[in-house]
């Protein structure tokens, strides 16, 4: 169906759907009912553009046939990841209808890397990444009875572990996500002073995945050279 205003249900024209420009030209309001459109749409649009540009500039693979296929898979994944951030921040849920299609993207990435390498090493690395991230989340979920972490985080953790690309990368992903979560959560808890306040972990996990996917290999290589003399 055609896109409609969520307030007045009026069908939107093509010129109402130009990313960011339409929102700015309308002053953040619907052209037809003058109700506020909200800030989520322009923030998502700007975020997507910034992530696409960043991904192109620092792409960790070459742009050969396999690299282009991986790039397309990654760009499609980013759409789902940004949508999940919005869902988790607003409603503290990670919808299955967004998470489940990502399993296909994860499988596609493994297939491309395996064909490119000509060995099963990328498959084994993907399993290791999924095990360290998804496995840890599953253990926490079982131990806490779902109080510390949700089932959606477990499902997403498996996918993001695959994209991390290995055991070390998965561990780095968890470290970065935990660091970001602590960095943001502690000041919020101190200021609000609300015990038991829930803060979604999904956004930190997703941001960490983007960081590790694009910069993880370089960071790990640098660490080995500096501290392990490899």
pTM over 0.95: no
Q: Is the pLDDT reported for residue 2 higher than 50?
A: no
Instruction: Using pLDDT thresholds of 50, 70 and 90, give the confidence band for residue 38.
Output: low
Does residue 19 contact residue 10 with C-beta atoms inside 8 Å?
no
Tell me which residue has tokens 């990368």.
169
Contacts of 78 (CB under 8 A, 6+ apart): 48, 51, 52, 55, 210
- pLDDT tens sequence across 118-160: 999 999 999 999 999 999 999 999 998 888 888 899 999 999 9
- pLDDT tens sequence across 169-214: 999 999 999 999 999 888 776 776 555 567 888 999 999 999 999 9
pLDDT for the residue 190: 73
pLDDT for the residue 197: 62
- Please list the residues that pair with 211 across neighbouring strands: none
DSSP state at residue 213: H
Distance between first and last Cα of the chain: 56
What's the CA gap between 157 and 162, in Å, rounded? 9
């Amino acid at each position: 169906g055609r896109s409609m205003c969520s307030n007045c249900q009026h069908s939107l024209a093509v010129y109402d759907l130009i990313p960011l420009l339409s929102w700015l030209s309308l002053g953040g309001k619907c052209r037809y009912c003058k109700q506020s459109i909200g800030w989520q749409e322009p923030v998502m649009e700007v975020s997507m553009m910034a992530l696409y540009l960043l991904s192109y500039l620092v792409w960790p693979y070459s742009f050969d046939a396999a690299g282009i296929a991986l790039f397309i898979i990654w760009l499609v994944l980013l759409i789902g990841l940004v949508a999940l951030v919005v869902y988790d921040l607003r409603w503290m849920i990670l919808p299955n209808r967004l998470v489940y299609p990502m399993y296909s993207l994860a499988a596609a990435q493994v297939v491309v890397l395996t064909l490119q390498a000509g060995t099963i090493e990328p498959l084994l690395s993907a399993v290791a990444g999924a095990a360290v991230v998804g496995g840890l989340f599953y253990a926490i979920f079982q131990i806490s009875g779902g109080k510390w972490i949700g089932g959606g985080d477990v499902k997403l953790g498996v996918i993001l572990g695959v994209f991390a690309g290995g055991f070390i990368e998965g561990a780095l992903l968890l470290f970065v996500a935990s660091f970001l979560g602590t960095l943001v959560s502690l000041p919020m808890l101190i200021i609000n002073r609300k015990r038991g306040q829930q803060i979604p972990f999904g956004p930190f996990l997703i941001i960490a995945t983007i960081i590790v996917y694009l910069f993880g290999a370089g960071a790990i290589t640098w660490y080995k050279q500096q501290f392990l003399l490899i």
